[in-house]
Amino acid sequence: MKRMLLLLTFLISVHLQANVEKGKAVYAANCAICHTVNGGRALGPDFNIVSYTRRKAEIAQYAKDPYSMYKKFGYSANAMPTLPLEDSEFKDVADYISSLQPFKKWMIKKKN
């Protein structure tokens, strides 16, 4: 039983890793012209900050349909375009964004 659980945990983490890798490619091809990773604000907010402040499901929803989300996220206008990607690509890019950690580590360091 323990072995089965270990195997399952391993398979899930490998699967998630694959999504993160795919999401990184989606980011590079579709988001990087407007969003940085750990690089300060560009046209849209930096994704390290987004990974700290937003949940994965919200990120996927924003990426898919920014117009339906901008008010909820506190913006008074929506300049981000709706991108013609597959649902799986929005999920993968949200996995990638949520996996970004340095900003959290920096926040934790600051507290000490």
To ligand HEC, the closest distance from the beta carbon of 69 in angstroms equals: 7
Q: How far is the CB of 51 from ligand HEC (least distance, A)?
A: 9
The span from the CA of 100 to the CA of 34, in Å, is: 17
| Cβ 38 to ligand HEC shortest distance, Å | 15
Instruction: Point out which residues bind ligand HEC (CB under 6 A).
Output: 26, 30-31, 33-35, 43-45, 50, 53-54, 59, 62-63, 66, 70, 73, 75, 78-81, 83, 93
CA distance 40 to 29: 19
Under DSSP, the state recorded for 43 is: S
Which phi and psi angles does 15 have, rounded to 5°? Answer: -60, -45
Among residues 33 and 107, whose Cβ is nearest to ligand HEC?
A: 33
Q: How far apart are CA 25 and CA 61, in angstroms?
A: 18
